[in-house]
């Protein structure tokens, strides 16, 4: 650990750093919020986006992010992440600051800033010892010097809070002009970061020793150079190493924070080797390794829970070594990677085809299994990529990263990732826009217009002024276990986005969140099976001043209110995962909805009007077949399109003009949700439907010229009165037809 005093500096590695603004956890002391400012050669920001803090958590470049809070070992910390290679060339300094909520820094015990590298080692630590009446503080700065990066302990205080500090660095804290749209949506984190995804204070390991950087390959396996960038998920810490022979128990102490970790094992010579995690009652829980390979080497993904220490029961016929390591040690699948036995790989590229080769093991009949795990939700369900026995050479599709690939093998293997080439639209399709890839988390999108029926002068302060003026307590709520939460609308009369991160209670199958009215009557709002562990939903659809939510069967949870201006505009084809919200501005239209992942989980869309009226638009009914639904637009000229899906469900949405819907006079047919236009006069027509189950019905709805459902025509087959004009078909995915009599 490098400890420096005020005014001193020290070199830091030019890679991914995590920076903590921390203090001692003493009840009744003021809260401290961390922020970062990106400064040019003149020492000023280039615009509002160069301030990163809890209400503006990601820089457009992706170089700086606010990743959440953590506590442990008597410390409270706010975490920032700096990816120094991605800092733009005209940024010369990144200032690390803190602001004090409800007090002064003189009342904050143990105020400090420390930076950790990708392996969790502290590369710089500065403790403030002279704070008094300040309400904002520049703790330190990262700056360029002769092609390298250094950290300087600054220790300069401000009595005017974060707004005053921001003004000093060139940010005009006033109502800004509406910004121009960004060219791209920056990738950010997957919602408010839970404690098990944030590194806590580094402590001494249980036992240490020389630990190889990865599984040692045998002669038949040729190692290939790997991307040296660490995998930016999971906590950082010093590896914990234990050696033994025969049977042993490993207890991982508090030096390893809660979250995903890599367990790496070596077993010398021939014989049997296996390892289990242990439950709270000291019983075998999950099988980590089970192998008879000679000179076994392997890695596996395991979790250090926040309510109990990780314990492993290890048994081997010969000498063994087990090391618990951070995720930053994983090898990256960039091109070809070879290995022997179980392994954990990181994939951060785009959609790809992955080629697999497996030797079949010593007996030619061993198994080879590969799973992919969403890096934002490693505890969630995993997708099966390969599963076979014996010698093989196969290819499978791989979604875009960040992912972890979990390899289970009893012999030499090789994986090669081949990213899919970008499509050349050619002259005939030159006007077709590319798909917008929607991040699962916080798309930082500027507001592009005033068509929501509220004049600009009537709206509360927006932009940086509004975000600086909104305290974190107003914007974010977190906790553990069941609770009723009251959320205040930051801009009454308008909707807001609710960004959530929720874990199920281990004792139940799924969480449930209900809306409560003034009489405590309930209405279903969200649940695990439909919304997954993290995503975004629309709240205050009718402009309510506050809502009450009852959280049931939940573990740890975090709810964060975001301005509705951060809704992603739907202007063309869009792809993403999980629940999110779009804003569509334009004439009434339709949109296609397509599933991109190999699951059968919930996936549907809803439209929400300016007055809060909500109606179903399209549902895949668990199928991969594309469906079509209406984009209902009121006189206000826009609507919100709400995507409801589990966090791991991938989807594609594409709007289309209303004249693309099938028109018919005599007959039309299809499968699943659809919108059709009857061009003939109103008449009785034969409706047929091949139901997929006993409760699968077909419903036909008449739509007006704005695609608002105005009358349910029928919920049955047989002769039905079909009006002239637009009709929506709603069903459970079966085949249907509408045909004129005779």
Give the chain's mean pLDDT. 80
The predicted pLDDT at position 191 comes to 33
10 and 154 co-located in one domain = yes
Greater confidence (580 vs 130) lies with 580
DSSP state of 210: -
Give the lowest-confidence range in 136-150, 186-200, 393-407, 481-495.
186-200
Contacts of 250 (CB under 8 A, 6+ apart): 240, 242, 311, 312, 314, 322, 324
User: How many structural domains are present in the chain?
Assistant: 4
The predicted pLDDT at position 434 comes to 43
Contacts of 478 (CB under 8 A, 6+ apart): 192, 556, 557, 558, 559
Does 508 have pLDDT greater than 70? no
Task: Answer yes or no: is 178 within a domain.
Answer: no
Cα separation, 179 vs 119, whole angstroms: 38
The predicted pLDDT at position 103 comes to 81
At 657, phi and psi to the nearest 5? -65, 155
343 and 375 co-located in one domain = yes
Task: Answer yes or no: is 203 within a domain.
Answer: no
CA separation, residue 476 to residues 192, 488, 493, 558, 636 (Å): 9, 11, 20, 7, 30
Cα separation, 318 vs 244, whole angstroms: 8
Task: Answer yes or no: is 256 within a domain.
Answer: yes
The predicted pLDDT at position 233 comes to 63
Contacts of 510 (CB under 8 A, 6+ apart): 504, 527, 528, 529, 553
329 and 255 co-located in one domain = yes
Confidence label for 142 from pLDDT (cuts 50, 70 and 90)? very high
Integer-rounded Cα Rg, in Å, for the chain is: 28
Beta strand segments in 578-679, E: 580-585, 589-595, 603-608, 614-619, 627-631, 638-645, 650-656, 663-664, 667-671, 674-678
Average pLDDT over residues 540-548: 90
The predicted pLDDT at position 232 comes to 57
Greater confidence (292 vs 584) lies with 584
Confidence label for 469 from pLDDT (cuts 50, 70 and 90)? low
Query: Which of helix, strand or coil describes residue 553?
Result: coil
Task: Answer yes or no: is 453 within a domain.
Answer: yes
Confidence label for 504 from pLDDT (cuts 50, 70 and 90)? low
Measured at the CA of 30, the angle between CA 26 and CA 31, to 5 degrees, comes to: 95
The predicted pLDDT at position 481 comes to 84
The predicted pLDDT at position 184 comes to 32
Greater confidence (392 vs 682) lies with 682
Is cis: bond before 402, omega within 30 of 0?
Answer: yes
Does 623 have pLDDT greater than 70? yes
157 and 23 co-located in one domain = yes
Domain that holds residue 516: 436-659
412 and 276 co-located in one domain = yes
The predicted pLDDT at position 94 comes to 96
613 and 506 co-located in one domain = yes
Query: Which of helix, strand or coil describes residue 397?
Result: strand
Beta strand segments in 183-270, E: 240-251, 259-267
Helix (H) or strand (E) holding 465: helix 463-469
606 and 668 co-located in one domain = no
Quote the percentage of the chain above a pLDDT of 70.
Answer: 82
Helices and strands of the chain, counted as H and E runs: 4, 54
Instruction: Return the structure tokens found at 509.
Output: 């199958």
Average pLDDT over residues 702-720: 91
Which of 419, 444, 470 is the endpoint of a domain?
419
665 and 655 co-located in one domain = no
Task: Answer yes or no: is 393 within a domain.
Answer: yes
494 and 608 co-located in one domain = yes
Which of 121, 151, 173 is the endpoint of a domain?
173
Tens-digit pLDDT profile for residues 88-117: 999 999 999 998 866 888 888 999 999 998
Average pLDDT over residues 76-87: 89
Task: Answer yes or no: is 226 within a domain.
Answer: no
Average pLDDT over residues 558-582: 89
634 and 538 co-located in one domain = yes
Greater confidence (457 vs 80) lies with 80
Task: Answer yes or no: is 202 within a domain.
Answer: no
Does 484 have pLDDT greater than 50? yes
Tens-digit pLDDT profile for residues 154-213: 988 887 777 778 888 888 765 444 433 323 333 333 333 332 333 333 332 322 233 233
Q: Which residues of 221-237 are buried (b: 16+ CB within 10 A; e: fewer)?
A: beeeebeebbbbbbbbb
72 and 168 co-located in one domain = yes
Cα separation, 393 vs 166, whole angstroms: 58
Give the lowest-confidence range in 162-166, 245-249, 617-621, 666-670.
162-166
Greater confidence (507 vs 725) lies with 725
Which of 602, 628, 659 is the endpoint of a domain?
659
Whichever domain contains 730, its CATH number is 2.60.120
Q: Model pTM?
A: 0.45
Confidence label for 440 from pLDDT (cuts 50, 70 and 90)? very low
501 and 571 co-located in one domain = yes
Confidence label for 448 from pLDDT (cuts 50, 70 and 90)? very low
Cα separation, 544 vs 526, whole angstroms: 18
Tens-digit pLDDT profile for residues 214-263: 332 222 222 333 333 455 566 778 888 888 989 999 998 877 888 899 99
Tens-digit pLDDT profile for residues 371-413: 998 888 788 778 888 887 788 888 888 988 889 999 998 888 8
Average pLDDT over residues 642-659: 93
Average pLDDT over residues 45-62: 85
Task: Answer yes or no: is 344 within a domain.
Answer: yes
Side by side, the strands of the sheet bearing 136-145 are 9-12, 148-158, 136-145, 93-101, 31-39, 51-52
For the CA atoms of 213, 217, 221, 227, what is the dihedral angle to 10 degrees? -10
Instruction: Return the structure tokens found at 657.
Output: 């003009």
Give the lowest-confidence range in 124-128, 228-232, 622-626.
228-232
């Amino acid at each position: 650990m490098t400890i420096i005093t005020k005014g001193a500096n020290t070199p830091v590695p030019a890679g991914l750093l995590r920076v903590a603004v921390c203090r001692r956890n003493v009840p009744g002391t003021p809260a401290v919020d961390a922020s970062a400012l990106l400064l040019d050669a003149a020492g000023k920001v280039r615009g509002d986006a160069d301030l990163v803090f809890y209400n503006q958590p990601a820089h457009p470049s992706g170089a700086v992010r606010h990743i959440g809070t953590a506590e442990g070992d008597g410390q409270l910390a706010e975490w920032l992440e700096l990816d120094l290679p991605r800092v733009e060339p005209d940024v010369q300094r990144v200032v690390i600051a803190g602001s004090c909520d409800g007090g002064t820094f003189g009342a904050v015990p143990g105020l400090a800033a420390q930076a950790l590298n990708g392996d969790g080692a502290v590369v710089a630590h500065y403790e403030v010892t002279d704070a008094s009446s300040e309400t904002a503080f520049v703790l330190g700065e990262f700056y360029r010097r002769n092609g390298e990066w250094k950290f300087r302990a600054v220790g300069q205080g401000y009595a005017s809070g974060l707004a005053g500090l921001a003004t000093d660095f060139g940010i005009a804290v006033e109502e800004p002009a509406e910004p121009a749209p960004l060219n791209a949506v920056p990738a950010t984190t997957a919602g408010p970061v839970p404690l098990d995804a944030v590194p806590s204070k580094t402590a001494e390991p249980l036992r240490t020793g020389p630990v190889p950087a990865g599984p040692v390959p045998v002669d038949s396996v040729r190692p290939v150079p790997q991307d040296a960038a660490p995998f930016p998920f999971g906590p950082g810490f010093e590896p914990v190493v234990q050696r033994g022979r025969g049977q042993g128990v490993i207890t991982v102490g508090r030096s390893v924070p809660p979250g995903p970790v890599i367990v790496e094992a070596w077993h010398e010579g021939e014989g049997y080797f296996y390892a289990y995690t242990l439950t709270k009652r000291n019983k075998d829980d999950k099988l980590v390794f089970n192998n008879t390979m000679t000179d076994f080497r392997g890695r596996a993904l395991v979790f250090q829970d926040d309510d109990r220490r990780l314990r492993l029961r290890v048994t081997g016929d010969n000498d063994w070594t087990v090391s618990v390591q951070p995720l930053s040690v994983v090898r990256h699948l960039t091109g070809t990677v070879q290995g022997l036995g179980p392994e954990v790989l990181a994939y951060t590229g785009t959609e790809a085809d992955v080629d697999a080769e497996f030797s079949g093991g010593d007996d030619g009949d061993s198994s080879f299994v590969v799973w992919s795990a969403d890096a934002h939700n490693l505890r969630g369900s995993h997708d099966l990529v390969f599963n076979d026995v014996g010698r093989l050479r196969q290819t499978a599709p791989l979604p875009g990263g960040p992912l972890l690939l979990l390899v289970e093998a009893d012999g030499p293997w090789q994986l090669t990732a081949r990213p899919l080439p970008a499509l050349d639209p050619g002259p005939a399709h030159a006007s077709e826009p590319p798909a917008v890839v929607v991040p699962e988390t916080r798309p930082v999108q500027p507001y592009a217009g005033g068509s929501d029926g509220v004049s600009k002068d009537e709206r509360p302060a927006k932009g940086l002024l509004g975000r600086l003026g909104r305290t974190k307590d107003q914007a974010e709520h977190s906790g553990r276990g069941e609770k009723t939460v009251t959320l205040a609308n930051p801009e009454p009369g308008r909707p807001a986005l609710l960004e959530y991160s929720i874990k199920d209670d281990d004792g139940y199958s799924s969480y449930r969140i209900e809306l409560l009215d003034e009489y405590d009557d309930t209405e279903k709002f969200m649940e695990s099976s439909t919304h997954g562990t993290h995503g975004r939903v629309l709240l205050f659809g009718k402009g309510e001043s506050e809502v009450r939510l009852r959280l049931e069967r939940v573990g740890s949870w975090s709810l964060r209110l975001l301005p509705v201006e951060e809704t992603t505009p739907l202007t063309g084809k869009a792809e993403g995962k999980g629940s999110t919200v779009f804003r569509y501005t334009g004439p009434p239209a339709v949109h296609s909805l397509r599933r991109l992942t190999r699951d059968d989980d919930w996936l549907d869309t809803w439209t929400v009007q300016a007055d809060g009226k909500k109606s179903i638009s399209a549902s895949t009914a668990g199928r991969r077949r594309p469906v079509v639904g209406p984009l209902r637009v009121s006189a206000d000229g826009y609507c919100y399109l709400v995507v409801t899906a589990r966090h791991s469900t991938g989807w594609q949405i594409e709007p289309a003009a209303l004249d693309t819907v099938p028109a018919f006079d005599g007959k039309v047919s299809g499968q699943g949700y659809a919108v059709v236009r009857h061009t003939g006069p109103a008449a009785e027509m034969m409706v047929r439907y091949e139901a997929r189950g006993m409760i699968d019905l077909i419903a036909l709805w008449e739509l007006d010229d704005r695609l608002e459902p105005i009358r349910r025509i029928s919920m049955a087959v047989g002769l039905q009165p079909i009006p002239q004009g637009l009709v929506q078909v709603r069903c459970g995915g079966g085949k249907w037809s509408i045909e004129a009599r005779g």
